[in-house]
Amino acid sequence: MLTPDPDPGPLDAVEPAQAERFSHARTAQSQALLEDYTEMIDDLIRETGEARITDIARQMGVTHPTATKAVARLKREGLAVSRPYRGVFLTETGAEMAERVRGRHRVVVDLLIAVGVPAEAAEIDAEGIEHHVSAATLRAFEDFLKGRG
């Protein structure tokens, strides 16, 4: 029978911090999904005047049920509303989120290009980075970019 080690060693000190980082990453991934959908819905509304589930699914590269489930979550979170036969629309909070995400994306792309990443790769890479960058890091990116001008 195994008994607990009375002196678990240095890993015990690391585990809470590591667990917190993993928890933060999971939360960021969950938030990233909301952000991607609000940005996509905003793009569709700007282009066509509305965002239908079919269009959202096509643009996001997901199935209709997956898009429906995501939109239901947006509605629960107060980020979107839907109208019968009219599609999905962002609430003021949802539109603000989409605008924030769009700005954050632009800063990350601009920084990646500034350090030599080709534009196409910067756009692709920014799609993941933009959701995980902290406000402090984003400010540092902006300060760096301003200092180059």
- 83/70: higher pLDDT: 70
CA distance 92 to 94: 5
Classify 51 as helix, strand or coil. Answer: strand
Task: Give 24-64 pLDDT, tens digit per residue.
Answer: 566 566 788 999 999 999 999 999 999 999 999 999 999 99
Shared domain check, 56 and 23: yes
Average pLDDT value over all residues in the chain = 87
Query: Taking 90 as the threshold, does the pLDDT of residue 92 lie above it?
Result: yes
83 DSSP 8-state letter: E
Q: What is the DSSP letter of 1?
A: -
Q: pTM higher than 0.85, yes or no?
A: no
Q: Is residue 12 part of a domain?
A: no
Out of 1-15, 97-111, 123-137, least confident range: 1-15
Q: pLDDT at position 84, please?
A: 81
Domain end position, chosen among 43, 61, 91: 91
Range of the domain at 107: 96-147
What is the rounded CA–CA span in Å between residue 138 and residue 52?
A: 32
Answer yes or no: do 80 and 113 share one domain: no
The better pLDDT of the pair 8, 66 is held by 66
- Give a yes or no: residue 4 inside a domain: no
Which one of 50, 73, 91 terminates a domain? Answer: 91
Token pair 């500034």 in the structure block, residue: 114
Q: How many domains does the chain have?
A: 2
In terms of domains, do 101 and 124 share one? yes
Q: Mark whether 83 and 105 lie in a shared domain.
A: no
CATH number, position 104? 1.10.60.10
